[in-house]
């Protein structure tokens, strides 16, 4: 049974209320960390993954259904992040095992740096290809760290438009960067 307090928190979070997000974070961060730590024993990896989980919650706050359990939603996001963590780990292990020659640690670092530079260059090119307004919204959000509310106010558009344009930009970038995801 969902409590009225949980419904109110979900509604506030859905509308972009940062205080509601902080309240959610404070209520659940320890429990989510424990949940993640059961599957992932590395303390550092757990800390990083918990941050990723809460960032995903915030980035997708407009998709929250206040009529459903916010804690259930949070644990579902956590479970999916754990699955993605292991998929990524398996891809890396498979790639390293499939290499026809053994790389020294230094050579491996150089190859990863080359791939990282290629990724950065490719990402910048993809951002330049975005439609003008979408690119501006993306850069205001990701480079200048403005909130959707601030961007909407600055550009004279609705927060929904900002959210839609960000989703379109991120989906486009993800679809074009799938090749690089194999390496990281």
Per-residue pLDDT of the chain (184 residues; tens, 9 = 90+): 788 888 999 999 999 999 999 999 999 999 999 999 988 888 888 999 999 999 999 999 998 999 888 888 899 899 988 888 887 776 666 665 555 445 455 545 555 565 556 667 777 888 899 999 999 999 998 888 889 999 999 999 999 999 999 999 988 887 776 644 444 4
Over the range 75-107, which residues count as b (16 or more CB within 10 Å of their CB) and which as e?
bebbeebbeebeeeeeeeeeeeeeeeeeeeeee
pLDDT of residue 183: 41
What's the chain's length in residues? 184
pTM for the whole structure: 0.52
Over the range 3-20, which residues count as b (16 or more CB within 10 Å of their CB) and which as e?
eeebeebbebbbebeeeb
Q: Is 42 left (phi over 0), alpha (psi -120 to 50) or beta?
A: beta
Q: Nearest to residue 162, comparing CAs of 125, 131, 136?
A: 136
Question: What letter would DSSP give residue 134?
Answer: H
Cβ–Cβ < 8 Å for 142, 100: no
pLDDT of residue 181: 46
């Amino acid at each position: 049974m969902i409590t009225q307090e949980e419904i109110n928190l979900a509604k506030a979070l859905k509308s972009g209320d940062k205080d509601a997000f902080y309240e959610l974070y404070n209520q659940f961060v320890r429990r989510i960390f424990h949940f993640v730590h059961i599957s992932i024993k590395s303390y550092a990896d757990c800390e990083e993954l918990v941050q990723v989980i809460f960032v995903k919650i915030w980035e997708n706050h407009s998709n929250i259904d206040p009529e459903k359990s916010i804690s259930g939603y949070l644990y579902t996001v956590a479970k999916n992040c754990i699955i993605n963590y292991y998929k990524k780990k398996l891809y890396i292990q498979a790639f390293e095992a499939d290499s026809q020659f053994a790389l020294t640690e230094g050579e491996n670092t150089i190859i990863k740096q080359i791939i990282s530079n290629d990724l950065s260059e490719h990402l910048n090119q993809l951002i330049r290809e975005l439609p003008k307004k979408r690119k501006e919204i993306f850069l205001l959000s990701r480079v200048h760290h403005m909130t959707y509310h601030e961007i909407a106010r600055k550009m004279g558009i609705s927060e929904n438009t900002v959210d839609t344009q960000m989703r379109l930009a991120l989906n486009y970038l993800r679809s074009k960067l799938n090749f690089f995801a194999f390496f990281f």
